[in-house]
Amino acid sequence: MNAPSHEKQIKLSEELQVLEVFWCPYARFRSDVTSVTSDRVPEDRNLCLLDHLVLAFATGNHGWTTAATMQLEGEKIIHLTLAMNGNPSDEDRHAATALLELLHGSTGQSDEAFIHYLRRYAAPHLSNVIQEVGLRLSSFLEREFPLSEVKWTVDSDELPGLEEVQKSYNRHEGQHISDYVRALFHALHSKIQELQPCTIQSVRNASNDHIRSILFLAHHLSRARALQTLYTSRNKDLNIVFIGLFRYRLARLGQYHTIMSAIIPSFQNSNSKLTVEWLHDAAHMQTIRLLRKPVQISLEAIPKPTVSIYDVLPNDEKEQEEIMVGMMEYLQWKDVVEVSVHPEIRLILAAQSSTLPLVGVSDGPCACCRHWIRSCKGKKWKTSHGPPHLDWTWKLPGHDRRLDDAVCKEVSSVLTSEVCIEINRGWN
Ligand SMILES: [Zn+2]
């Protein structure tokens, strides 16, 4: 293993942070664009199970992501290796033990016990997911997204599990499915509003029934055909990125319902056994001091000379800088950052030959992890789905210089194109 150069890491961290906090937190890497088709492989059952399990184990402490790989020992034993951005605390270990007891059926009624587990151990992660859904749901309802423009078909096709939903949420006689779906979105919105501000404490203080209703509605609404229709619509007035993110977050929240109603009971009713271990490697975290300011990083990303760009900038350098400073003054810029080799990469590097080439990630892999994984030669790893997002805590793994350089090059090129696009728009 060659330690990546310190300068290379600083430049990468500067560029990632400026991209994430200012230019475009959902910037797409070229590999994200080109792999859309190749990713459409039939759903892997083991990856699906791993994805549910990793979400169940994610406590969200310190805002960290949890990742997991899987080994199968015979037909009955599933062994998970778990890792977080940092090393797990005692609280994370206790959480894992409590969840294992639940999965093995030693803590009584599963619904109640799982929600109790979530409120006790996973409230940081759960409150975060609820909050994100709440914010997007408010915008979705405020903008009155054109649910009315959707061509509605057979009721049960519009909302899978409609009968079950109707048992809990009354549907007026003769109420059109579009009005009913809209009423359900409003019901979810009110349930989330009751938790406002949605904090770790408000999730802990909420009743089990309250949390159960949120998970139930999120699960069913994320499968509403109308959302899929809006997402694939060619209507240029629709913000497809917004709809895609909203649907993803909703589905992630609803996944807790699936864990509670399907995954845990199936474990409890089978003789399957789940074992877990934590990955421990001390040297993957590092605190670094950045050298450049956002203005300088952005200006230095602009290729020179590019006539079209410099045409729209004032000639005077001082004035150029003032524009940038004016735009960036509200930024929460950090000069000192803590970076770590992300857990999914550490798990891949530590994988044994019997480990399945699957990695579950509680919040979906970030753009750098995806790019690194896709650039790997040999074993082709599949990861959880999720929208591409940047994460400036990304540390160069230093395992293979070719892979490190591939990520650095991609980040620099994405920064250049995002800055140029914005400048060509005339700073609006
Ligand atoms: Zn990552």
Residue 39 pLDDT > 60: no
What are 230's two structure tokens?
């809006």
What was the pLDDT predicted at 24? 74
**185-237 residue pLDDT tens:** 999 999 999 998 889 999 999 999 999 999 999 999 999 998 888 888 777 66
How far is it, in rounded angstroms, from Cα 407 to Cα 401? Answer: 10
Q: Considering the chain, what is the average pLDDT of its residues?
A: 86
Three-state DSSP at 70 gives strand
88 CA to centre of ligand 1 in angstroms: 17
CA 222-132-397 angle, to 5 degrees, is 100
Q: What local confidence, expressed as pLDDT, does residue 214 receive?
A: 98
* Per-residue CA distances from 66 to 154, 219, 231, 264, 279 (Å): 40, 22, 28, 19, 11
How many angstroms is it from 393 CA to the middle of ligand 1? 8
Which tokens go with 417? 């194109």
Is residue 71 within 8 Å of 251, Cβ to Cβ? no
148, pLDDT greater than 70: no
Q: What is the pLDDT of residue 280?
A: 83
Per-residue pLDDT of 54-109, as tens digits, reads: 999 999 998 899 999 999 998 889 999 999 998 899 999 999 999 999 998 865 66
Residue 264 Cα to ligand 1 midpoint, Å, equals 28
CA dihedral 283, 287, 288, 289 (to 10 degrees): -160
d(CA 398, CA 395): 9
Domain spans, the chain = 6-43+282-286+336-424, 99-275
Lowest mean per-residue pLDDT among 9-13, 135-139, 207-211 = 135-139
Residue type, 100: L
CA 6 – ligand 1 centroid, Å: 19
Cut 0.75: pTM above it:
yes
| 218 within 8 A of 254, measured Cβ to Cβ | yes
Average the pLDDT over each of 264-273, 287-296, 348-357, 414-423 and give the range with the smallest value: 414-423
Tell me, in angstroms, the distance from the centre of ligand 1 to residue 59's CA: 17
Q: Sign (positive/negative) of CA torsion 373, 246, 428, 327?
A: negative
Kindly give the distance from the C-alpha atom of residue 324 to the centroid of ligand 1, in angstroms, as a whole number. 29
Q: Exposed e or buried b for every residue in 152-164, given b needs 16+ CB within 10 A?
A: beeeeebbeebee
For residue 366, report the distance from its CA to the centre of ligand 1, in Å: 4
Contact 362, 102 (CB under 8 A): no
Tokens standing for residue 296:
């300088």
Average confidence (pLDDT) over 301-313: 61
